[in-house]
Every structure is written in structure tokens, then in C-alpha cells.
Amino acid sequence: MRTKLLLAAAATFVTLSASASPQGVGTERVTVVGAQPQQTRMAAFAFDGVQGDYALEDGRTLTVTGKVDGRTHARTLYADLGDGPTEIVHVGKNRFVAAGQDLRLSFDRQEGRKPSKNVHITSQAGHSVALAQR
């Protein structure tokens, strides 16, 4: 009886100590994806009002152009900082996010429906990248 009790205790000890040992080197990778900005509808006057050329502080030019799909009437805006046009997505109240890039554009509001004169360019984290003016 005593032998059975000792064997049971030893088996329990070995089982518990094996499960408590490290399970190998932590090679797991966890990817966290933040919430993506949701696209919102944009009024036609806003679509027209942000298009144009804006002078950047470093001498480059930000060019905002737009295209309207003749079949669906979908409006798409593109921003070009000199390295080719990138689609920008309207996320609300004169704010845009560059598709596939770490850029946000925020156009200053003007009285009425006048075109915007200033654009604040920031990273997704909110760090200021540049100020552009018409």
C-alpha cells in the first residue's frame, strides 16, 4: 500500500513538474492591426475645393487632383508630393488618409464654399510632416 502511494506521488510530481517547465523559446508572433479609418461621403464642392497645387515648406509642391468615374460617378482624389499620385480617402470634415502610406491630410476650412488655402500633412501617429499653402 505504501509503495502504491509513493508511486502515485512520484508520478504526480513528474507530471506536474513537466507541465510547469518552459514550453520552448517564445517564437510566436502577434500582429496587432489598428482600426482603419472609415471612408465617408464627400460633397461635390469639397471635392472641387481641395484640388489644386499647394507649396510645401521644403520647396516641393503638393498637387491634389480628382477623377470622376463616368459610369458610377464615383469621385476619387489623388495627392502627389513629387513621387507619383497616391489615392487619398475622405474620412470626414476635410480630413483625408493616403491609401497605403503613413500620411494624413487635413485641409483648413474656409468660409462658405471657398477652396481651402492650407493643408496640414501629418503621419498616422499625428506627427507633423509639413504645412502646404496655396
Please give the domain boundaries of the chain with CATH numbers for all domains: 51-133 (2.40.128)
How is the chain split among helix, strand and coil, in percent rounded to 5?
20, 35, 50
Which of 9-23, 46-60, 109-123 has the highest average model confidence (pLDDT)? 46-60
Q: Where is pLDDT greater, at 22 or 97?
A: 97
Band (pLDDT 50/70/90 cuts) for residue 26 is: low
pLDDT score of 131: 82
Residues 74-133 pLDDT 10s? 889 999 988 899 999 888 888 889 988 888 999 887 676 666 788 888 887 777 788 888
The reported pTM is 0.62
Are the C-beta atoms of residues 55 and 48 closer than 8 Å to each other? no
Q: What is the dihedral of CA 57, 60, 61, 62, to 10 degrees?
A: -80
